[in-house]
């Protein structure tokens, strides 16, 4: 089991550029979560999918953020245009079933200058 | 009021002592409770889950849940320097799949 895979691990970009973060959940897990972690706000849930369908995107900060899950093995989180305040570590997590804990990926550290 | 609250710390304990980490939550219809450990620069990893009132023990870790007081704690016995990390409390509210995290307590175990 390779665990949750995220890419890239680090991303440095300039303000105004488009950023795309990628996630491959654990095979067989039917729920996928995108989190953002900062020192000030801690770990925040942005959006989660169940069986590839977005269930709750109330944590997405604004329209600049969008997420897709075209199939059970791939999801993207896109920020367009990016701003310095988007700098954070973005985690993807996946889980089997409707409740319980999930496994986190290694995260993508995003720096927007 | 935040849904899940933790003291940010740092909590410093000497090696071999018991570390006590506390968490309060704001809603009575919560269902499941979790403790995650996060080393600096790493992702959170689940160390304990608890679903009913009382104590649950796993090795050196004990989770305690009191739903009436809306309180969950984590005790680490015989603390080791390798336990130095940030501990995140998380709550899964009934009817919702998502888990809400506290901001974490930083634990430092002094050799």
CA distance B100 to chain A (A): 8
Least confident of B20-24, B44-48, B81-85, B90-94: B90-94
Mean pLDDT of the region A21-47: 93
C-alpha closest to that of B2 among B55, B60, B70, B58:
B70
Average per-residue pLDDT in chain B?
A: 91
C-alpha closest to that of A35 among A104, A95, A99, A82:
A104
Contact B32 A106 (CB under 8 A): no
- Distance between first and last Cα of chain A: 36
Q: Which pLDDT score is estimated for A101?
A: 63
pLDDT digits (tens, 9 = 90+) for A77-98: 999 999 999 999 999 999 887 6
Q: Is A31 on the interface with B (CB under 8 A)?
A: yes
Mean pLDDT of the region B59-66: 96
Q: Is A5 on the interface with B (CB under 8 A)?
A: no
Question: Across the interface, which of B32, B45, B102 has its CB nearest the CB of A42?
Answer: B102
C-alpha closest to that of B72 among B62, B85, B84, B60:
B62
Q: Which pLDDT score is estimated for B98?
A: 74
């Amino acid at each position: 089991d390779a665990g949750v895979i995220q890419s890239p691990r680090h991303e440095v970009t300039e303000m105004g550029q488009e950023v795309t973060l990628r996630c491959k959940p654990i095979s067989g897990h039917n729920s996928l979560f995108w989190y953002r972690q900062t020192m000030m706000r801690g770990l925040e849930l942005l959006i989660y999918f169940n069986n590839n369908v977005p269930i709750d995107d109330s944590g997405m900060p604004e329209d600049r953020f969008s997420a897709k899950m075209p199939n059970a093995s791939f999801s993207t989180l896109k920020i367009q245009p990016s701003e310095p305040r988007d700098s954070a570590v973005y985690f993807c997590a996946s889980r089997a079933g409707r409740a319980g804990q999930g496994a986190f990926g290694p995260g993508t550290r995003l720096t927007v200058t | 009021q935040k849904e899940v609250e933790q003291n940010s710390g740092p909590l410093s304990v000497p090696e071999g002592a018991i570390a006590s980490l506390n968490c309060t939550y704001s809603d009575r219809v919560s269902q499941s409770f979790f403790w995650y450990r996060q080393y600096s620069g790493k992702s959170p990893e689940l160390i304990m889950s608890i679903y009913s009132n009382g104590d649950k023990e796993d090795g050196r870790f004990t989770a305690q849940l009191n739903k009436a007081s809306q309180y969950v704690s984590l005790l680490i016995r015989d603390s080791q320097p390798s336990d130095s990390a940030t501990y995140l409390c998380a709550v899964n509210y009934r009817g919702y799949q998502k888990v809400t995290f506290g901001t974490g307590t930083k634990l430092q175990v002094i050799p």
